[in-house]
Amino acid sequence: MKNIGIWIDKEKAHLVTLTDSNEKFETILSELEFFNPKGGSRTKTTKWGPQDVVQDSKYLEREKHQLKKYFQKLANAIDGADAVAIFGPADTNDKFRKELKENHPLLNQKVKTVEKVDSMTDNQVKALVREYFGSQK
């Protein structure tokens, strides 16, 4: 039996692989650029503040493509799993589940849970995954 627990956010994903004989911990970095669009004239003499237009759609589109690449890398890493549990803060875990639903239906069937959890240390992630799959038996 190969169970994989994933703690995922936009920066990185921690994978804990549990088999009958051992436990493996792996971190996959997202390589996502964190965009901080800047615009405006930055002068105090402008009557109504900065007037430049910031093209948010360009940044969001780039982020979407980078997320897709990140999720593909994660899907390849969990390919041989018998059961998958996805944990994480914010909504990256839900986006990953949606990606699995749309593009990896066989992997999607193996997902047992998607839960919101706060940031954790590596040891806390390992304990969470062990506890989750230990209670499933």
Q: What is the DSSP string of 21-40?
A: S-EEEEEEE----------S
Residue 123 domain-assigned (yes or no): yes
**Are residues 93 and 27 in contact, defined by beta-carbon separation less than 8 angstroms?**
no
Residue 71 belongs to what domain range? 3-35+48-135
Question: Is residue 88 in some structural domain?
Answer: yes
Q: Is residue 43 part of a domain?
A: no
Question: What is the pLDDT at residue 69?
Answer: 96
CATH of the domain at 74: 3.30.420.60
Residue-level pLDDT, tens digit, the chain, 137 residues: 899 999 999 999 999 999 988 999 999 999 888 776 665 555 666 666 666 666 778 888 989 999 999 999 999 999 999 999 999 998 999 999 999 999 999 999 999 999 999 999 999 999 999 999 988 76
- Per DSSP, the three-state class of 5 is strand
What is the pTM for the complete model shown?
Answer: 0.83
- Cα-to-chain-centroid distance, residue 55: 25
Per the domain annotation, does 87 fall within a domain? yes
| Number of structural domains in the chain | 1
